[in-house]
Amino acid sequence: MFNMEFARATMGAILREGLPATLTVVFWTLVISLPLGFLLGLIRFRRVPVLMPLSTVVISFFRGTPLVILIFLLYSALPDALARLAQIHGWGIDVYGLLLGSTKGYAVFICSTFTISTMAEIFRSALGAVEAGQLEAAHCVGLSTAQAYWHIVIPQALVSALPNLGNDVIGLVKGTSLMFYMGLKDIMGVAKTEAGPAYAYVEAYVDVLIVYVVLCFILQELFRHLEQRLRSYGAKG
């Protein structure tokens, strides 16, 4: 039988503890990933020597690695390896304390690695979608390439990147649900913790489902409105 009482209580816990944790991780991941992803996308679009092939390797790695494996690599393998290194060289640094002191902070780090990678590709293709004539016209009225990018190319690219960014952010929100593997008390983490002792996984998962669906719906609408507002210059009429 579906334990309604338990589902309601768990929902309360999820909204009190889990949701703020998820939103915090998503927020800081975006604060880090949007500018860095854009910078990386610009480097790739402009085919900056040395940095371009380097970024290809890094991006391919983070985009191609399943999130669960990425969490294992960065949460377990990487700190272990660094701690070993510190021990061998006698650096006297508390690697675990330094890296894993804040679960949320480390979750932000892991989320940022793959979000920067996917966003770099989104921004690269958005920059490519801006017509070459826009840059030529800017040059002809006396703008430098940097000025043309700042006033013309980048604003247009940001608008055309919005739909894909929206998808990416929703993917990120759902991706954070795997962070309970590293002990993050996010939406999923709280639900699991509550469900375990009572063995009421169905109820907990239904709660999780509802919270994610509503959260992603809100985000989707937010991006839709943002796009409509910013794209107003493209409206016919």
Contact positions vs another protein (CB under 8 A)? 131, 133-134, 136-144, 147, 151-152, 155-156, 159, 232-237
CB of 151 to another protein, least distance (A): 6
CB of 144 to another protein, least distance (A): 8
CB of 137 to another protein, least distance (A): 4
In the bound state with another protein, the residue whose beta carbon lies nearer, of 199 and 233, is 233
CB of 45 to another protein, least distance (A): 18
User: CA distances (Å), 135 to each of 26, 45, 129, 143, 234, in order?
Assistant: 34, 14, 12, 9, 18
CB of 228 to another protein, least distance (A): 14
CA atoms within 13 A on the CB side of 198: 18
In the bound state with another protein, the residue whose beta carbon lies nearer, of 49 and 142, is 142
In the bound state with another protein, the residue whose beta carbon lies nearer, of 47 and 232, is 232
In the bound state with another protein, the residue whose beta carbon lies nearer, of 42 and 116, is 42
Each residue of 115-131: b (16+ CB within 10 Å) or e?
Answer: bbbbbbbbbbbbbeebe
In the bound state with another protein, the residue whose beta carbon lies nearer, of 90 and 142, is 142
